[in-house]
Amino acid sequence: MLKANKKTLILTSAITLLPMMIGLFLWKQLPDTMATHFGFSNEADGFSSKPFTVIGIPLFLLVMEWICAIVTSNDPRKQNISPKIFTLVLWIVPVVSVFVAAIIYPYNLGYKFDMTFIAELFMGLLFIIVGNYLPKSRQNYTVGIRVPWTLADEENWNRTHRMAGFLWVLCGILLLVCALCRIWNPILIFGLLLVTTIIPIVYSYLLYKKSGPLN
């Protein structure tokens, strides 16, 4: 699987490290201590050294991407992981890397903007994209809703992921609407995260109870 996606992995790795190249180019303009975490009020509430921000974060994300790629490619049921799903796995980290840099660098260079709006917009789009891929995911141990009831029963897996996909897309659309309406409520955000996590698991369990004990 890694060999078949060698070019994509090289490209996504380069994009993951792109913020480091940009940071080195802007090195003299960036402050020695950089804001790297922001609260719901758009104000910085966490800081890191310039070397860690410019070099450490991209390298950490690169390691995470390779771990995800290696673990997914060695899944015992890797034959069930479609090329589209594996491509999605490879692209999530580089997109996050560029997104993080697009917020951190401008802020530390003195540009002010509505970060909560951008974050909510990004989350909404991510939810919609992942939601569209979930129903296409087949049984595996790496990608998807991996609970005992989905892993033991293919029908349970398929029905759970169809429902979860719909739920993720619906929550993504809601996030986009909230972003466009400038509604930023931490309780709403965490609530949606819980909904997209807990409801599919509960639904899978109810399907299991309805169909009887696992074989």
- Taking CA atoms, 156 is separated from 4, 7, 39, 84, 174, in Å, by 30, 35, 39, 22, 27
Angle at 115 between CA 110 and CA 46, to 5 degrees: 70
Residues 26-69 have pLDDT tens digits of 999 999 999 998 877 778 889 999 999 999 999 999 999 999 99
Which amino acid belongs to residue 114?
D
Same domain, 155 and 83: no
Q: Are residues 118 and 201 in the same domain?
A: yes
Left if phi > 0, otherwise alpha if psi is -120 to 50, otherwise beta: which for 110? left
Residue-level pLDDT at 48: 96
Question: Same domain, yes or no, for 99 and 3?
Answer: yes
95 and 4, same structural domain? yes
pLDDT value of residue 153: 93
Task: Give the number of domains in the chain.
Answer: 2
Domain final residue pick, 105, 140, 155: 105
CB proximity list for 43: less than 8 A, separation 6 or greater: none
> What's the average model confidence in pLDDT over 172-178?
93
97 and 171 co-located in one domain = no
The answer to whether residues 119 and 101 belong to one domain is: no
Q: Which residues of 20-59 are buried (b: 16+ CB within 10 A; e: fewer)?
A: bebbeeeeeebeeebbbebeeeeebeeebebeebbbebbe
> Residue 193 — very low, low, confident or very high, per pLDDT cuts 50/70/90?
confident
User: Pick from 83, 105, 127: which residue ends a domain?
Assistant: 105
pLDDT band at 215 (very low <50, low <70, confident <90, very high): very low
Cα distance between residue 28 and residue 109, in whole Å:
11
Last residue of a domain, one of 87, 105, 123: 105
**Do residues 91 and 27 both lie within one domain?**
yes
- What are the pLDDT digits (tens) for 155-173? 999 999 999 999 999 999 9
| Same domain as 131, residue 195 | yes
144 and 186, same domain (yes or no):
yes
| Same domain membership, residue 215 and residue 128 | yes
Q: Is 3 exposed, middle or buried (0-12, 13-18, 19+ CB in 10 A)?
A: exposed
Q: Quote the domain boundaries for residue 130.
A: 114-215
Q: How far apart are the C-alpha atoms of 126 and 76, rounded to whole Å?
A: 27
**Burial (Cβ within 10 Å: 0-12, 13-18, ≥19) of residue 155:** exposed
**Do residues 165 and 202 both lie within one domain?**
yes
Give the position of tokens 């807990």. 198
- The Cα 140–Cα 157 span in angstroms is 10
For CA atoms 79, 145, 128, 63, the dihedral sign is negative
85, 133 in Cβ contact below 8 A? Answer: yes
53 and 149 belong to one structural domain: no
Residue-level pLDDT at 213: 54
pLDDT digits (tens, 9 = 90+) for 99-140: 999 999 999 999 888 888 888 899 999 999 999 999 999 999
Residue 23, Ramachandran bin (φ over 0: left; ψ between -120 and 50: alpha; else beta): alpha
Q: What is the mean pLDDT of the chain?
A: 91
Q: Residue 150 in contact with residue 156, Cβ under 8 Å?
A: yes
